[in-house]
Chains A and B, each alone.
Chain A
Amino acid sequence: MKKTLYIFQNGQLKRKDNSLYFETEERRKYIPIEDTSDIYIFGEVDVSKKFLEFVSQKEICIHYFNHYGYYVGTFYPREHLNAGYVVLKQAEHYLEKEKRLTLAKTFVKGSIGQMIQVLKYYRNRRDEGKDFFINIIEEIQNEAIHIENTNSIEELMAVEGHAREKYYSSFDYIIADPDFPFEKRSQRPPLNRLNAIISFGNTIVYTTVLSEIYKTYLDPRIGYLHATNFRRFSLNLDVAEIFKPIMIDRLIFTLINKKMITKKTLINIWMGFFFLKKEGKNLLLNWTNE
């Protein structure tokens, strides 16, 4: 498996000897191009056109994030897999309501299925509070039954929302740390520590999925559950729904419960909003790769 390269330092990324080369004031490092699948840039990194040509040729996506870890955008190299037929079919599945709904339902089913997996894991591991988990799982399963009966994306979203709310209500039971209360899900900006970690984690899933989509014939601009609009890629958001609970939520629970992420070391507060410090981002990325 090719690796993902994360850059937090400030410096220059270059093409050198037909490979990647990262240079800062203190250090220089070569990175094997053939072992790199995509690059995430968090620091102030200078690149040249020569470099972009090179990564484009090697089909490497470069994802940019701002100072707070928010996704800025992607250098999405020229589509190397180009099939007009697939684009047409993809659009057809969006435009025909029935087909779109079928796909969207599949995403929601997958997502809810993974949430239940997470809950089951903790149901089996906890000695006390088993009833709580059993109840929640049942409630979510009852909610999931309604998926089949929905006739519009809006209804489907509502069902998904209810299930997710119930899922989130279990977070405070799973996390036994008073420093990380869940309270409620808040994004843009996250209003507490846990939300900051979840947001950053989800961002990583979105971009990982985007990189994977790049390797297929699919067009990331056409999503099914998330409306296709003028603003952004949406297919990756759909697919990410399935991976979020198992990839990120599980990881966060483990890191917090094992006290690897703590209140002081890893979270920054800026005007009442919470962000992960560099070390926190580092830690999370390190573990997502495990």
Chain B
Amino acid sequence: MFVILVYDFGEKRVGKALKIARKYLHWVQNSVLEGEISNANYTKLKMELRSIMNSEEDSVIFYTFRTKNYSKREEFGLKKGGDENIL
């Protein structure tokens, strides 16, 4: 499954959220990560984020796709991050 994660956390927790998300997904821009993820890891990631978030103030959005086949990704300007597996 391919997911796009967008989050908006309070200053105190934003760093923690980033660290958690980086274990599973590729960082794309500030507060945006994306990548291929298994069902199990998706559940784990959600659980970990829930455990640190303050549901009154913080927000998380996941966009999930079964495949990338019917979607298109356009990018311009400076490439900040993203999926790369040949360095």
Contacts and interface: CB of A to CB of B under 8 A. Distances in A.
A19 interface: yes
Interface string B17-40: 001001111110000000111000
Contact of B22 (A19, A22, A289): A19
B22 A32 contact: yes
Contact of B85 (A3, A9, A18, A30): A3
Given A3-B36, A30-B27, A285 B22 contact: no
A33 B23 contact: yes
Contact of A19 (B23, B35, B86): B23
B71 to A, nearest CB: 18
Nearest to B87: A7
B35 A35 contact: yes
Interface string A246-290: 000000000000000000000000000000000000100110010
Interface residues of B, number: 16
A35 B19 contact: no
Nearest to A281: B86
B42 to A, nearest CB: 10
Most buried by A among B19, B22, B27, B36: B22
Interface string B26-68: 1100000001110001000000000000000000000000000
Most buried by A among B36, B37, B85: B85
Contacts of A30: 22, 27
Given A17-B22, A30-B22, A33-B23, A22 B87 contact: yes
B85 A6 contact: yes
Interface residues of A, number: 23
A3 B84 CA distance: 10
Contacts of B23: 17-19, 32-34
Contacts of B41: 34
Contacts of A9: 87
A289 B85 contact: yes
B87 A8 contact: yes
A4 interface: yes
A83 interface: no
Most buried by B among A4, A18, A30: A30
A6 B84 CA distance: 9
B81 interface: yes
Given A3-B36, A17-B19, A18-B19, A34 B24 contact: yes
Interface of B: 19, 22-27, 35-37, 41, 81, 84-87
